[in-house]
Amino acid sequence: MKKILVTGGAGFIGSHVVRRFTTQYPEYQIYNLDALTYAGNLENLSDVEQLNNYHFVKGDITDAVFIDQLFQENDFYGVIHLAAESHVDRSISDPLSFVMTNVVGTANLLNAARKAWKDDLGKSDAPRLFYHVSTDEVYGELHDPNDFFLETTKYDPRSPYSASKASSDHFVRAYHATYKLPVVISNCSNNYGPNHFPEKLIPLMIHNIIQNKPLPVYGKGENVRDWLFVEDHARAIDVIFHKGVVGETYNIGGHNEWKNLDLVFLLCKTMDEKLGREAGTSEKLITYVTDRAGHDLRYAIDATKLKNELGWEPSLQFAEGLERTVDWYLANEAWLENVTSGAYQKYYEGMYAAR
């Protein structure tokens, strides 16, 4: 049975990847490596934790000795690397932690794989793959509404977060070129869906609407993002892992652009309907706050390559995906309460109270 290491598997996207691989591929042994920081939550995987092909390993990818030992003890067929610090605001206040996790952590994994797989490197039929999951933010920002990010778009990271992810992408490609490590990279647009930690826009707004708290919108809310349902991202990762060409990059996008303010208005309308509130009630909670430093105007992915070469495209229309997301949060308020207590509250107050 092939062993696959999924890093960051207790996080938002990672938990959906782990769930898909453990349930769709019982012939795989899935090892979920997670440090269980604030955004890593084993409750996200309570429905699969008893499966015979699921294994949890607590550990930090910045610990090179630990990572080397993990690879020595397990003959991993592949790695799906999702572990990362991912919130732009946090990267602005604490950039070095992003360098450590996203850059040093990725280099540790690459180095461990290089040493463990040394006998297979350079072989065309080598049964190994290092899959690095990245972000569209490495490409910078778009101003022309007719422009989209391609796999060949020049990198132009504009925050410590995107700079750290860009750096990790470069290390992955360098290990492929230098050591013949078999790699693929995907760069994805914004995700939404169940189990999303409420520091990101959609779960934050859902949580605050439930609590009748202010809905903080940066600047005038004109920033545009392309949104993809998280289960569609997990499905894309599945397709790329099994069918992607070694050395290639694939962009994953939802073909679904929204201005932040328009998205918040839609959420307000949806939540008022779900909660039985008078129309317009939640809109009154919208509060405009000082814009984020270096806030990119627009991201938009062209995922044509992924569709044409590997046959993937989004399965859900946004209205359906958003309704499923809202329904999940309303049905899992205990999960919300658990992840929004303690340290998160202190972070939230420091981030938004003074704006």
Same domain membership, residue 290 and residue 231 = no
Number of domains, the chain: 2
Residue 4, beta-bridge partner list: 30, 78
Count the alpha carbons within 13 Å of 236 in the hemisphere toward its beta carbon: 33
φ/ψ bin of 221: left (φ > 0), alpha (ψ from -120 to 50), beta (otherwise) = left
Which listed residue (34, 60, 89, 137) is catalytic?
137
pLDDT at residue 139, rounded to an integer: 97
Active site residue 161: yes
| Sheet strands (E) in the chain | 2-7, 28-34, 54-58, 76-81, 129-135, 183-188, 190-192, 215-218, 224-229, 249-252, 257-259, 286-289
Residue 103 pLDDT > 90:
yes
**For the chain, percent of residues with pLDDT exceeding 70:** 95
On whether both 182 and 212 belong to a single domain, the answer is no
Residue 335 maps to a domain: yes
Residue 337 lies in a domain: yes
Dump pLDDT digits (tens) for 13-48: 999 999 999 999 999 999 999 998 877 888 899 899
- Answer for the pair 142, 81: CB distance below 8 angstroms, yes or no: no
- Residue 354 is predicted with a pLDDT of 56
276 and 147 share one domain: no
My answer on whether 216 and 281 are in the same domain is yes
Residue 354 inside a domain? The answer is: no
Considering the entire predicted model, what is its pTM? 0.93
Quick count: other Cβ atoms within 10 Å of Cβ 192?
Answer: 25
pLDDT in tens, 309-343: 999 999 988 989 999 999 999 999 888 887 777 55
Phi, psi of 207 (to 5 degrees): -60, -45
pLDDT value at 352 more than 70: no
Percent of the chain with pLDDT over 90: 81
114 and 242 together in one domain: yes
244 and 281 together in one domain: no
Q: Are residues 182 and 89 in the same domain?
A: yes
- Tell me the pLDDT tens digit for each residue of 45-73: 989 999 999 999 999 999 999 999 999 99
Question: What pLDDT, on a 0 to 100 scale, did the predictor assign at position 350?
Answer: 62
Tokens of 61: 């990818």
> Which residue type is seen at 68?
D
Does residue 345 surpass a pLDDT of 60? no
Q: How confident is the model at residue 225 (pLDDT cuts 50, 70, 90)?
A: very high
Q: Is the Cβ–Cβ distance between 217 and 210 less than 8 Å?
A: no
* Residue 150 CB neighbour total at 10 angstroms: 15
pLDDT at 1 over 90: no
Please indicate, yes or no, whether residues 290 and 235 belong to a single structural domain of this protein: no
Write out the two tokens for 85.
Answer: 């610090």
- Selecting among 34, 85, 89, 136, the annotated active-site residue is 136
Let me know whether 286 and 235 are in one domain: no
Residue 296 annotated to the active site = no
CA 170 vs CA 8, 118, 156, 185, 248: distances in Å: 20, 21, 13, 10, 13
**pLDDT over 50 at 187, yes or no:** yes
137 belongs to the catalytic site: yes
CATH code of residue 161: 3.40.50.720
Q: Give residue 76's domain range.
A: 2-192+227-252
Residue of 161, 175, 179, 218 with catalytic role: 161
pLDDT band, very low/low/confident/very high, at 346 (cuts 50, 70, 90) = low
